[in-house]
Amino acid sequence: MGCTSTRPSPEWSSAMAAAAPDAGVRERALEREVAKLKRINAALIERVEASNLPRSAPYAAFEHAALLAEQVRERTQELNQAMHELRASNRLLVEARERAETAGQHLVDAIESITDAFVLFDADQRIQRFNSRFADFWRPAGIRIASGMHMQELRRQALASGLVRSEESGHGDRRTLYRLHDDRWVQVHQRPTRGGGRVMLFVDITALKRQEHARREHALAQKSRLQQVTLDSLSQGVAVIGAAGQLEMCNQRFRTLTGLASLAVPHDLAALAGRSALIVAGDARGVTAPCERQLPDGRVVEVRGHAMPGGGQVLTYTDVTERIRHAEVLRERERWIRTITDEVPAMIAYLDRDLRYVFTNRVYEEWYGWPRDLLLGGELTALHSAEHCARLAPYLERALDGESVSFEFPEQGAGGQERVLLRSYVPHVGEDGEVLGLFVLIRDITERRRSAEALHQAYQNLEQRVRERTTQLTRVNTQLRGEIAERAAVEQRLREAKAEAEAANLSKTKFLAAVSHDLLQPLNAARLFTGALGEHEVPVDGRELIEQIGRSLKDVETLLGTLVDISKLDAGVVTPDIAAFPVAELLDGLAREYRQVAANEGLALHYVPSGAVVRSDIQLLSRVVRNFLTNAIRYTASGRILLGCRHRPDGLEVQVVDTGMGIEEAELGAIFQEFRRSQAVGKRQDRGLGLGLAIADKIARMLDHPLGVASIAGRGSRFSILLPHGQAAPPGSLVPEPPPVGQLALRDRRIWVVDNDTDICKAMRLLLGRWGCRVRVAESEAALVAQLDPATAPADVLVVDYHLDGGDTGVALAERLNAGRRAPLPVVVITANHSRELRRELRERGYSLLHKPVKPLKLRMVLAQLLAGTG
């Protein structure tokens, strides 16, 4: 403030006040001294004049007087100079006094202009200055403020008068809050002065206090609303119980479960015990352990108590009805899966990441002679010998790294029998790519190994080799017939197990889909051996036997393919390949195929062509229509079957209509269930599992194509599927039809075959050799290189299996071989993998694809098409 710069300091004011009387005294002393000197001078002059001293003496006296006069003059000048300085000092003193008075008045004005109460205490803690607002602050209490009043006296009167109701000290004792008798709040700021005094400022903060209180109340209300909204958003019922057993808070879910929609809180919890089945009298004292309570409508609610630090507890009410039902369904599915796997003639197990047994089938337990309760949960290293674990360790490490491993392993069972086992480890990979466990499939290949050794010995003598080969084929045929009979028995047991189960467990379904490759391997070899045997010239009865074996193998293939398909659909590993295509591209071929099948059964199949274009997956859609046609032929004793299309407002409806036995109305809702067949007796009832319509339903749901069915018992049925319309492809994009197979020959063609299965290699050698091909077979790339130089040796076609040992694939092997050749070889890939990604990859590389089990005629047609342009 401006008054601070013009105000004189206390030291200057004291000095000026002390200097004024000293100057007057000095002036009077100098005047007395001058008068004394004048008297002395006059006396000396008079003495000289009256003296009778010699002539020289007066001169000396005069000289002395002159010296004295000079001293008097000097003293007089000094006195005048002191008087001049004294007058200047007096003038400055007057000016300083005026400035001090002006500064003091400015200070008074500044103090008075402060909007808050102000007071200044001196070093003795007495009031030195204050403004009118300070005096007004104390006036309601009858306290009169005056300069010189001591601070303690002021404090005593304030407390005695009741002006101050409470006092709160602030940080560092520089801020103090006072609550006054009229609920006003005053904040006192105080600071010490350089002279030892103290300055205090009284600020009325009542408005700020009220705003702060309002904000706190608003925040508490907002927090309470947020807490209630949070509780209401929970799927569980929540009740907050106080230490006294009072229901302090609850959410909407609690009200719904208890049926107390109009419940007011707080409320005595014990009083609610008779009004709801969820609340019992003991809840008010606390729920010490989780318990389940059943509602009148059959639902089960789990009650849990959670203690709070300040007493009381939080009760949570969770509807666990679905969880209990789901657990029961899982146990039923577990029993069903175990029933299936126990009948499979192979050892099946599942190990988790830590190599603990999670699942084993009956064959696995019987081989090792362990009870199930000991095996499940046990570690592999604890149940097997150290030598056994050491031999398995390298393969287990590869499998845990994500690699599918197959290897032969001689082992002795619990009964002491020595057998050669083919072990397959398939990693179970989670969604994040991490290996969660291992699927273990162990098959007894002792007989196959013995057969291989016998064949090796047969190469030493041609005549002996022919006899042994004939014996081997006979044994293979016998083994196939036994396997067919065994699979038929397994099929019957599967149908019985399926009738008792509701649905397959998803993890076990994935397991069945994962091992489909290994299950199709022996069937593929059997089909190739049968095809090769059919190329021999045999008697008529032998020919009929071969054809019967082929039909039986085809039935086994169909049944196994159906089971694998339903497993893959349940596992969600089938991805549709949606594209637009003319519907005639699908229906024309099916009409030609099933017209002959219908004729063999004494039926007539009528086909109405259509030029419409639809959008769907042609392969999956073909499976649906095939199931419709197969069922129509199977359940139609006489009459005709109609295949055609009808235009609907929302798409094109493909229909299959028959004049067969029809379906009872009560059965229409169950025909699309798994392992359910019509009660009507069909001509081919013994060849179905009741999965055809279930697969058709799953495919239709996947493609989002509605299915339709209408039937009248005794008159016939109509099955249909509604397809969305699509746009026709440009004319230039149509693929030309391949030339007829009959115009091409395979004789003297050089074909390389690489397959890690010895039986398939032998079967391919026999089959292709009967067709006149020059064949080279190998179980690996190294075995092929040992026979010839892949970069320069002449060849026409390379046939590879997709899954090879060591994690290698036939696609990678074909790329390596063609990379070293001047002209790449046409490639045929054989696999049990039906994934869309693999089909797309092979299509982009220009490779041909055959699915296992391979049909000899299909193989011959593909080879002929590949060799058509090579001449």
At 294, the pLDDT band (50, 70, 90 cuts) reads confident
At 8, the pLDDT band (50, 70, 90 cuts) reads very low
What is the model's pLDDT at position 538? 63
47's enclosing H/E stretch is helix 10-50
- Tell me the CB-side half-sphere exposure of residue 704, using CA atoms within 13 A: 7
Residue 359 scores a pLDDT above 80? yes
C-alpha distances (whole Å) from 304 to each of 233, 272, 282, 296, 297 are: 19, 18, 13, 20, 21
Instruction: Classify residue 673 by its DSSP letter.
Output: S
Residue 607 scores a pLDDT above 90? yes
- For the packed helices 540-571 and 692-703, what is the interaxial angle rounded to 10 degrees? 40
* Cα 28 to Cα 456: distance, rounded to the nearest angstrom: 155
Beta carbons of 580 and 728 less than 8 angstroms apart: yes
Provide mean pLDDT across the span 644-654. Answer: 92
Q: Determine which of 254-263, 323-332, 353-362, 496-505 has the lowest per-residue pLDDT on average.
A: 496-505
Residue 808 scores a pLDDT above 80? yes
Residue 5 scores a pLDDT above 80? no
Please name the amino acid found at residue 621. L
Residue 334 structure tokens: 């577990």
Residue 204 structure tokens: 């009325």
Q: Write down the H helix ranges in 501-617.
A: 506-514, 516-534, 540-571, 583-600
Q: Write down the H helix ranges in 704-780.
A: 758-770
C-alpha distances (whole Å) from 224 to each of 220, 228, 235, 307 are: 6, 6, 19, 20
Phi, psi of 360 (to 5 degrees): -145, 150
Residue 291 structure tokens: 């318990």
Please name the amino acid found at residue 705. H
Q: Which residue has the higher pLDDT, 240 or 264?
A: 240
Q: Write down the H helix ranges in 667-780.
A: 692-703, 758-770
Residue 769 structure tokens: 């050799």
Residues 6+ apart with CB under 8 A from 454: 468, 472
Residue 624 structure tokens: 């649906």
Q: Determine which of 470-484, 520-534, 777-791 has the lowest per-residue pLDDT on average.
A: 520-534
Provide mean pLDDT across the span 241-260. Answer: 79
Residue 116 scores a pLDDT above 70? yes
What is the model's pLDDT at position 564? 61
Helix, strand, or coil (residue 567): helix
Helix, strand, or coil (residue 582): strand
Residue 530 scores a pLDDT above 80? no
CA nearest neighbour of 11 among 76, 96, 71, 90: 96
Q: List own/partner pairs for 166-174 with CB under 8 A and 24 or more apart.
A: none
User: Each residue of 456-499: pLDDT tens digit?
Assistant: 676 666 667 677 778 888 888 888 888 888 878 887 877 777 66
Beta carbons of 287 and 306 less than 8 angstroms apart: no
Other residues' Cβ atoms within 10 Å of the Cβ of residue 625? 20
Instruction: Classify residue 803 by its DSSP letter.
Output: B
* Cα 705 to Cα 694: distance, rounded to the nearest angstrom: 14
Q: Determine which of 26-35, 172-181, 197-206 has the lowest per-residue pLDDT on average.
A: 172-181
Provide mean pLDDT across the span 146-151. Answer: 84
Residue with tokens 């859609």: 621
Estimate to the nearest angstrom the gap between the alpha carbon of 48 and the chain centroid: 133
What is the model's pLDDT at position 612? 92
Instruction: Classify residue 402 by its DSSP letter.
Output: T
Highest mean pLDDT among 179-183, 351-355, 736-740: 351-355
What is the model's pLDDT at position 641? 93
Bridge partners, 213 (sequence order):
none
Other residues' Cβ atoms within 10 Å of the Cβ of residue 464? 12
Q: Pseudo-torsion of CA 370, 371, 373, 376, nearest 10°?
A: 30
Phi, psi of 198 (to 5 degrees): -150, 135
At 575, the pLDDT band (50, 70, 90 cuts) reads confident
Q: How many residues does the chain have?
A: 871
Residue 339 scores a pLDDT above 90? no
What is the model's pLDDT at position 776? 92
Q: Which residue has the higher pLDDT, 159 or 7?
A: 159
Helix, strand, or coil (residue 515): coil
Phi, psi of 558 (to 5 degrees): -65, -45
Residue with tokens 């005294």: 25
Cis peptide before 582 (omega within 30 of 0): no
User: Each residue of 386-401: pLDDT tens digit?
Assistant: 888 888 888 888 888 8
What is the model's pLDDT at position 684? 46
What is the model's pLDDT at position 11? 40
Residue 511 scores a pLDDT above 70? no
Q: Which residue has the higher pLDDT, 554 or 225?
A: 225
CA nearest neighbour of 524 among 471, 561, 569, 566: 561
Which class for 420: exposed (0-12), middle (13-18), buried (19 or more C-beta within 10 A)? middle
Please state, for a pLDDT cut of 70, what percent of the chain lies above it.
Answer: 78
* Cα 78 to Cα 472: distance, rounded to the nearest angstrom: 156
At 502, the pLDDT band (50, 70, 90 cuts) reads very low
Q: What is the pTM of this model?
A: 0.34
Residue 56 scores a pLDDT above 70? no
What is the model's pLDDT at position 552? 60
Q: Which residue has the higher pLDDT, 630 or 272?
A: 630
Beta carbons of 760 and 520 less than 8 angstroms apart: no
* Cα 800 to Cα 755: distance, rounded to the nearest angstrom: 6
Residue 443 scores a pLDDT above 80? yes
CA nearest neighbour of 226 among 214, 218, 237: 218
At 583, the pLDDT band (50, 70, 90 cuts) reads very high
Residue 553 scores a pLDDT above 80? no
Beta carbons of 75 and 96 less than 8 angstroms apart: no
Q: Pseudo-torsion of CA 567, 569, 575, 578, nearest 10°?
A: 140
Q: Which residue has the higher pLDDT, 679 or 721?
A: 721
What is the model's pLDDT at position 736? 43
What is the model's pLDDT at position 31? 78
Residue 29 scores a pLDDT above 70? yes
User: Each residue of 271-282: pLDDT tens digit?
Assistant: 777 677 777 767
Please state, for a pLDDT cut of 90, what percent of the chain lies above it.
Answer: 10
What is the model's pLDDT at position 7? 41
Residue 221 structure tokens: 């209300």
What is the model's pLDDT at position 839? 85
Please give the mean pLDDT across all residues of the chain.
77
Residue 847 scores a pLDDT above 80? yes
At 149, the pLDDT band (50, 70, 90 cuts) reads confident
Provide mean pLDDT across the span 514-520. Answer: 55
CA nearest neighbour of 376 among 418, 427, 343, 334: 334
Bridge partners, 200 (sequence order):
119, 190
Q: Which residue has the higher pLDDT, 553 or 466?
A: 466
End-to-end CA distance of the chain: 113
Q: List own/partner pairs for 188-195 with CB under 8 A and 24 or more apart.
A: 193/120, 195/10, 195/122, 195/123
User: Each residue of 556-572: pLDDT tens digit?
Assistant: 665 556 556 656 666 56
Residues 6+ apart with CB under 8 A from 477: 545, 549
Provide mean pLDDT across the span 637-658. Answer: 92
What is the model's pLDDT at position 503? 52
CA nearest neighbour of 512 among 569, 456, 457, 468: 569
- For the packed helices 462-500 and 516-534, what is the interaxial angle rounded to 10 degrees? 130
Q: List own/partner pairs for 758-765 with CB under 8 A and 24 or more apart.
A: 758/448, 758/452, 759/448, 759/522, 759/525, 759/529, 760/521, 760/524, 760/525, 760/528, 760/801, 762/455, 762/529, 763/525, 763/528, 763/529, 763/531, 763/532, 764/528, 764/799
The sign of the dihedral angle between the CA atoms of 50, 56, 57, 60 is positive
Residue 600 structure tokens: 């063999």
Beta carbons of 520 and 852 less than 8 angstroms apart: yes
Q: Determine which of 242-251, 269-278, 343-352, 608-617 has the lowest per-residue pLDDT on average.
A: 269-278
What is the model's pLDDT at position 419? 83
Q: Determine which of 17-21, 410-414, 563-567, 613-617 has the lowest per-residue pLDDT on average.
A: 17-21
CA nearest neighbour of 711 among 672, 788, 657: 657
Q: Burial letters for 98-130: b for 16+ Cβ neighbours within 10 Å, e otherwise?
A: eebeebbebbeeebeeeebbbbbbbeeeebbbb
Provide mean pLDDT across the span 315-328. Answer: 83
At 581, the pLDDT band (50, 70, 90 cuts) reads very high
Instruction: Classify residue 166 by its DSSP letter.
Output: E
Provide mean pLDDT across the span 187-192. Answer: 83
At 613, the pLDDT band (50, 70, 90 cuts) reads very high
Q: Determine which of 12-21, 181-190, 498-507, 721-730 has the lowest per-residue pLDDT on average.
A: 12-21
What is the model's pLDDT at position 526? 64
